[in-house]
Amino acid sequence: MTKPVNGFSKLTKTEKIGWLAENYLNSDKKAVNILKQYWNEDEKLQKLHDEFIENTVSNFYLPLGLAPNFLINGNYHVLPMVIEESSVVAAASKSAKFWSERGGFTATVINQKKIGQVHFLFKGDFSKLESLFKNIEPKLRESVQPITKNMEKRGGGILEIDLVDKTQELENYYQLFVKFDTRDSMGANFINSCLEKFAEVLQQEASNAENFNEQEKDLQIIMSILSNYVPECIVRAEVSCPVNELSEDKNMTGEQFAEKFIQAVKIAEIEPYRAVTHNKGVMNGIDAVVLATGNDFRAVEAGIHAYASRNGKYSSLTHAEVTHGIFRFWMEIPLALGTVGGLTSLHPLVKLALDILQRPSAEELMEITTVAGLAQNFAALRSLITTGIQQGHMKMHLMNILNQIQATELEKEEMVAYFTHHTITHSSVIEQLEKMRS
Ligand code: MEV
């Protein structure tokens, strides 16, 4: 058992690693070297990364890949994708190529409202609270002027403030329910700062309200925070083509492909076990672009999955149909992304990723990201209903094993050829390599 540590954050990075090695890694020099091996030689760059979070001891690499040929609303894009899972970038690229030859993707931001709430308790007469709220609404708006001034110049700001009575669900519980337009920023800091100011003003005004009794004056703020559920910040992405253009495979006609594909989507629409995996495939594309562009993938994940259950049952995010011989495949998701603020101007690779995307507005990035999700789902379903996904996965798996066991380039070539016709398992790969070497 190691002892708890005091003042850990005050130690230097080297001291932190020393403490870690001594207490948790049997003073293993190799472990220390691994941590240090990932430090960047450029001290300024390393310091920048150290300061993103607290108690940084090293950097954790994830691959940054490129998926080219994404034709979106008539323009070609190459998508930067950060992901650890093999096959995802390949699948995205394949899907992009396929649809670029069939008119490409269309994507639209339907609306872009973000939401924040002041959660508070009020014991007393609701009508009095309501009239206080009506009276102080201009004051609430005025109180955040120093925060909203710049956002308003960019065309954003506070859209609506509502008082919501939630006492049917939780005793004495009310909210200020606020809608924001944060333009090209994700807006978390902006929203939270406004909400905290609203909370302060609300509490003050309640305590000074002449017609409030003592209990009513004692309005209690519980918390003020943005919501990562953004069902009024919706993006739609779509592809379509004549059914007969769908097939690239002699074994399956376009009609057969469409039928099986739509059936696979329908299964995900009604069966939550399948829907979760189906949507996980969508998120493979979305998260990879969200990460590359320095956005908050946890917020995106939480919001999208909540949306997938908005009708009381977790369901597919994507939908497909054939009408009058035209196959259509589409998705609408809530997505709050930013292209200014946060990591976007700090992390050199994030800046570069946004350059690669030709400096998109938040709306354009939302469209591109949604397309990445739709493309990924198309690729996954296409594999699943035709060859199965293991074929592609196992090829990458083979490379991972070969890299792990430090096979030479020549050995890799021979092994890839051999395993085109043999089943890949960890042990079969090792066995074959040993045979080859002996
Ligand atoms: C794997 O990361 C994603 C898939 O499982 C998605 C799906 O099943 O649709 C292939």
C-alpha distances out from residue 91 to 81, 101, 320, Å: 12, 16, 19
Task: Label the pairing between strands 318-323 and 157-165.
Answer: unpaired
Q: Is 22's pLDDT higher than 70?
A: yes
pLDDT digits (tens, 9 = 90+) for 350-378: 999 999 999 999 999 999 999 999 999 99
pLDDT confidence of 394, banded at 50, 70, 90? Answer: confident
pLDDT at 330: 98
Lowest-pLDDT choice from 92-96, 387-391, 403-407 = 387-391
pLDDT digits (tens, 9 = 90+) for 306-328: 999 999 999 999 999 999 999 99
Lowest-pLDDT choice from 48-57, 117-126, 397-406 = 397-406
Mean per-residue pLDDT, 16-34: 96
> What is the CATH T-level fold of the domain 64-111+233-386, as seen in this structure?
3.90.770
Which residue out of 113, 266, 280, 395 is catalytically annotated? 280
Q: Is 390's pLDDT higher than 80?
A: no
Structure-token pair, residue 68: 């080219």
Q: Is 387's pLDDT higher than 90?
A: no
pLDDT at 396: 77
Query: Could you confirm whether 44 is annotated as catalytic?
Result: no
pLDDT at 389: 78
Nearest CA to ligand 1 atom 7: 278
Which residue out of 49, 179, 260, 393 is catalytically annotated? 393
pLDDT confidence of 205, banded at 50, 70, 90? Answer: very high
Query: Could you confirm whether 15 is annotated as catalytic?
Result: no
pLDDT digits (tens, 9 = 90+) for 30-87: 999 999 999 999 999 999 999 999 999 999 999 999 999 999 999 999 999 999 998 9
Q: Is 103's pLDDT higher than 70?
A: yes
* Domain segments of the chain as ranges: 8-50, 64-111+233-386, 114-227, 393-437
pLDDT at 3: 84
Judge residue 132's burial from the number of C-beta atoms within 10 Å of its C-beta, 0-12 exposed, 13-18 middle, 19 or more buried.
buried
Q: Which atom of ligand 1 is nearest to the CA of 268?
A: 9
Structure-token pair, residue 285: 């594309």
Name the strands in the sheet holding 106-109, side by side, starting at the edge strand that comes first in the sequence.
Answer: 106-109, 234-242, 326-334, 318-323
CATH architecture of 114-227: 2-Layer Sandwich (3.30)
Query: Could you confirm whether 280 is annotated as catalytic?
Result: yes
Please give the angle made by the CA atoms of 192, 368 and 271, to the nearest 5 degrees. 85
Q: Is 117's pLDDT higher than 70?
A: yes
pLDDT at 301: 98
Mutate to test the pocket of ligand 1, among 81, 95, 389, 390 (most ligand atoms within 8 A of CB): 389
Which residue out of 85, 160, 249, 355 is catalytically annotated? 85
Q: Is 123's pLDDT higher than 90?
A: yes
Distance (angstroms) between ligand 1 centre and the Cα of 288 equals: 14
Q: Is 1's pLDDT higher than 70?
A: no
Mean pLDDT of the chain: 96
pLDDT confidence of 342, banded at 50, 70, 90? Answer: confident
Report pTM. 0.91
pLDDT digits (tens, 9 = 90+) for 160-190: 999 999 999 999 999 999 999 999 998 999 9
Which residue spans within 166-275 are E strands per DSSP? 173-181, 220-227, 234-242
Q: Is 318 helix (H, G, I), strand (E, B) or coil?
A: strand
Mean per-residue pLDDT, 298-305: 98
pLDDT at 250: 82
Mean per-residue pLDDT, 200-217: 98
* CB-based pocket (< 6 A), ligand 1: 85, 277-278, 280-281, 284, 380, 384, 389
Q: Pseudo-torsion of CA 69, 75, 81, 87, nearest 10°?
A: -30
